[in-house]
């Protein structure tokens, strides 16, 4: 309709969206007036709506010099739902239900004011911070309170993909028309598809008026069950079968979000807000039926039948006798009637056979006509397709059982249920994708079980070698078991013990005989000679401090593959994976913090470091010379910079 600018109000300093429209140069006076009237009508329609979910109109005016009309509207920062759908932005089912419920409540407020939007679509619904929805662009709204009818016969207003059947057919519209369009928006948010698609206006219009929409679960079986019932009610061809108020739709959506079934509408629900256009629409305005008040009790005084009965004088005798009871008079009147019939001259006269047959034939024809008329008035009962119903019920049972198996962690059972469901509905992309993912999880679990079995066998062989004191053979077996199952505490503990025992065996030197009484090593007696005198004697030589040293290995780097190994002399002090698996059903690798402390034999030796990352083709080897004093503690820091692809080594 025009151009929209971002403007600033100089008086109060707030930002506004300034919508302008200028009459086309080639337009005649009537067209210019019609556009300006429609433009002003937008401001009038939106200006009387003050709701948190409706864009506010601040001001309206016209520049006489340029013949440009403008509306100052609330400036809203956010994205409309059309942009959200085009970007593929993920919205949960709870968020979708809450967004549509907000819009339904806003439309209910507008309908109560006598305004029908008539162009509800994703492009006119804006999401702001906090997942709050705002509906805008009442440019083709219809004011029920009056005003000129600017829509000529046959003119198309609105967006075809989101029109209701009555809009397509040019029939009168009301609040239920907006709810049909909002139901299309809900369907598109849930499935990322339009329910009535087509390559031309004719095909789209025909589908909207005559054809049903594709069921939700045929497109995505993961959609909660309550949404299908809500969408079906919103997209009913007959407005009388839809939700009659926007608040009813909002209540049903919030019930589904809470995990409940949509509550049925009450028997005496509020009437639909019906808007009126000009005088030509008055005859087609739906009639609201008002129930009669309940009958008075039998003891109450009956109302007079007419006003004349009230004004007519009534004379009552002063001493009228009480009338006889009705039950007592009935037998006497009945006997009098029978007597009069019997005394009638035609009583007892014989009827000619042709007349009797004619009367009988007329009675039969009248009876048959009555029966045929009653049959025509009966509503035909639709024939239920038992095979389709059984198929739909089977699909629902398989879907529920498969989802329950996924929640309980029974991947094999879930795979079996959804595989069977895939045979019934092979064209569903969501089921195909889910079955493929479940099969991948099954393969990973089977591979993990085999890896666990191999790790357990290596651990058993390593423990047997350790118990036989064959530490050289035990260490590689335990290392392989730990590599296959880094979460095995037994593999880590036995590997540490085997490495310590092997280190002790390599560093072991002949020791003097210990005392049988105390168990302590006796001091060594060494012969000495005093200088100058030549005198000889003995001196005690005490053993030196042989406390083990400690080395802590720390690795810093965001890697999801490979391992680090640190070797001091011939002793392996660290062999750790740089990653760990997370996730219950769908496993994923994440970086693992490495911080390992080991005791080593004091010595002046080399520290050899290997970092192997197969996915990045990294095979790093570095050597550091270090003198380990008895009882000393050192920390080895290994860092990896992903930007420069370089390693740094520090030891203190």
Which pLDDT score, from 0 to 100, does residue 341 have? Answer: 64
d(CA 73, CA 3): 13
Give the domain ranges of the chain. 3-74, 79-264, 392-417, 428-505, 547-652
Q: Which residue in the list 119, 137, 178, 248 is annotated as catalytic? A: 119
Three-class SS of residue 641? strand
For the stretch 48-64, what's the b/e string if a residue is b when 16 or more beta carbons lie within 10 angstroms of its beta carbon? ebebebbbbbbebeeee
The backbone torsions φ and ψ at residue 472, rounded to the nearest 5 degrees and listed phi first, read -60, -35
Cα-only R_g, the chain: 46
pLDDT bracket for residue 588 (50, 70, 90): confident
306 against 504, higher pLDDT: 504
Among the residue ranges 26-30, 180-184, 359-363, the one predicted with the least confidence is: 26-30
6-24 pLDDT, tens per residue?
999 888 889 999 988 776 6
Which pLDDT score, from 0 to 100, does residue 47 have? Answer: 82
Which pLDDT score, from 0 to 100, does residue 422 have? Answer: 87
**574 bridge partner residues:** 566
H/E stretch holding 524 reads strand 524-529
Active site residue 119: yes
633-646 pLDDT, tens per residue?
999 999 999 888 89
Helical segments of 211-303, H only: 216-219, 225-234, 246-257
CATH top-level class of 547-652:
mainly beta
Q: How far is CA 643 from CA 548, 590, 630, 640, in A?
A: 39, 19, 39, 9
Which pLDDT score, from 0 to 100, does residue 286 have? Answer: 36
293 secondary structure, DSSP code: P
d(CA 410, CA 407): 8
Instruction: Please give the mean pLDDT across all residues of the chain.
Output: 78
524 against 564, higher pLDDT: 564
Which pLDDT score, from 0 to 100, does residue 302 have? Answer: 37
May I ask the CATH architecture of the domain 79-264?
Orthogonal Bundle (1.10)
223-237 pLDDT, tens per residue?
998 999 999 999 999
- What is the Cβ-side half-sphere exposure of residue 113, based on CA atoms within 13 angstroms? 19
d(CA 495, CA 575): 10
First to last CA, the chain: 74
With vertex at residue 544, the alpha carbon angle to CA 542 and CA 550, rounded to the nearest 5 degrees, is: 155
Residue 512 has pLDDT above 80, yes or no: no
**3 bridge partner residues:** 20
Q: What's CA 638's distance to the chain center, in Å? A: 44
H/E stretch holding 479 reads helix 471-484
Instruction: List all residues 6 or more positions away from 419 whose beta carbon is below 8 Å from its beta carbon.
Output: 435
pTM of the model: 0.43
Q: Name which of 448, 439, 632, 490 is nearest 547 in CA terms.
A: 632
Mean pLDDT of 573-593: 83
Bridge pairing between strands 603-613 and 618-628 = antiparallel
411-459 pLDDT, tens per residue?
889 899 989 888 888 888 888 888 888 888 888 788 778 888 898 898 8
Strands, sheet with 125-128, edge to edge from the N-terminal-most edge strand: 79-80, 125-128, 132-135
Highest mean pLDDT among 96-110, 358-372, 575-589: 96-110
Q: Of 3.20.20.80, 3.40.1390.20, 3.30.1360.30, 3.30.200.20, which CATH number belongs to 3-74?
A: 3.30.200.20
Residue 243 has pLDDT above 90, yes or no: yes
Q: Do domains 3-74 and 547-652 have the same CATH topology?
A: no
Residue 180 has pLDDT above 90, yes or no: yes
For the stretch 177-192, what's the b/e string if a residue is b when 16 or more beta carbons lie within 10 angstroms of its beta carbon? bbbbbbbbbbbbbbbe
Q: How far is CA 133 from CA 41, 71, 110, 402, in A?
A: 23, 21, 15, 34
């Amino acid at each position: 309709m025009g151009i929209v600018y971002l403007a600033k109000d100089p008086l109060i300093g707030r930002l506004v969206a300034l919508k302008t429209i200028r009459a086309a140069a080639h337009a005649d006076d009537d067209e210019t007036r019609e556009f300006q009237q429609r433009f002003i009508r937008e401001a009038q329609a939106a200006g009387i709506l003050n709701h948190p979910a409706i864009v506010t109109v601040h001001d309206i005016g016209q520049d006489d010099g340029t013949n440009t009309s403008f509306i100052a509207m609330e400036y809203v920062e956010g994205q409309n739902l059309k942009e959200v759908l085009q970007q593929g932005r993920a919205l949960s089912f709870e968020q979708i239900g809450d967004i549509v419920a907000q819009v339904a409540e806003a439309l209910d407020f507008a309908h109560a004011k006598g305004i029908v939007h008539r162009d509800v679509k994703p492009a006119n619904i804006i999401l702001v911070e906090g997942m709050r929805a705002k509906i805008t662009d009442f440019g083709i709204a219809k004011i029920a309170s009056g005003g000129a009818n600017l829509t000529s016969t046959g003119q198309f207003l609105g967006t075809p993909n989101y029109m209701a059947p009555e809009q397509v057919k040019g029939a009168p519209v009301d609040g239920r028309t907006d709810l049909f369009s909002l139901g299309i928006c809900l369907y598109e948010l849930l499935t990322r598809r339009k329910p009535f698609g087509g390559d031309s206006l004719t095909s789209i219009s025909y589908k909207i008026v005559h054809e049903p929409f594709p069921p939700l679960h045929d497109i995505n079986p993961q959609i909660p069950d309550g949404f299908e019932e809500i969408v079906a009610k919103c997209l009913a061809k007959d407005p009388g079968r839809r939700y009659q108020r926007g608040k009813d739709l909002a209540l049903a959506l919030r019930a589904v979000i809470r995990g409940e079934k949509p509550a049925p509408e009450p028997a005496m629900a509020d009437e639909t807000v019906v808007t009126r256009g000009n005088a030509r629409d008055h005859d087609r305005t739906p009639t609201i039926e008002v129930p009669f008040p309940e009958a008075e009790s039998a003891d109450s005084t009956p109302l007079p039948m007419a006003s004349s009965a009230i004004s007519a004088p009534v004379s009552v005798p002063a001493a009228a006798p009480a009338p006889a009871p009705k039950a007592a008079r009935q037998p006497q009147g009945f006997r009098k009637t029978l007597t009069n019939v019997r005394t009638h001259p035609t009583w007892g006269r014989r009827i000619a056979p042709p007349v009797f047959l004619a009367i009988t034939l007329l009675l039969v024809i009248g009876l048959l006509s009555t029966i045929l008329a009653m049959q025509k008035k009966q509503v035909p009962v639709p024939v239920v397709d038992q095979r389709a119903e059984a198929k739909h019920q089977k699909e629902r049972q398989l879907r529920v059982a498969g989802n329950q198996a996924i929640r309980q962690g029974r991947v094999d059972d879930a795979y079996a249920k959804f595989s069977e469901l895939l045979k019934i509905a092979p064209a569903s992309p969501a089921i195909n994708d889910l079955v493929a993912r479940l099969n991948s999880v099954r393969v990973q679990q089977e591979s993990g079980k085999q890896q666990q079995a191999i790790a357990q066998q290596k651990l058993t062989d390593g423990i047997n070698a350790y118990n036989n004191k064959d530490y050289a053979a035990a260490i590689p077996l335990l290392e392989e078991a730990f590599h296959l199952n880094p979460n095995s505490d037994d593999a880590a503990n036995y590997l540490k013990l085997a490495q310590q025992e092997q280190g002790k065996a390599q560093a072991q030197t002949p020791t003097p005989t210990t005392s049988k009484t105390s168990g302590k090593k006796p001091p060594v007696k060494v012969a000495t000679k005093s200088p100058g005198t030549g005198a000889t004697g003995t001196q005690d030589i005490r053993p030196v401090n042989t406390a083990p040293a400690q080395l802590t290995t720390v690795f810093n780097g965001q890697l999801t593959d490979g391992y680090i190994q640190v070797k001091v002399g011939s002793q392996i002090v660290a062999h750790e994976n740089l990653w760990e698996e997370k996730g219950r059903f769908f496993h994923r690798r994440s970086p693992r913090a490495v911080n390992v402390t080991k005791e080593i034999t004091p010595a002046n030796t080399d520290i050899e470091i290997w970092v192997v990352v197969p996915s990045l083709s990294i095979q790093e080897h570095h050597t550091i010379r270090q003198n380990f004093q008895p009882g000393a503690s050192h920390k080895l820091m290994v860092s990896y910079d992903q930007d420069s692809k370089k390693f740094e080594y520090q030891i203190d």
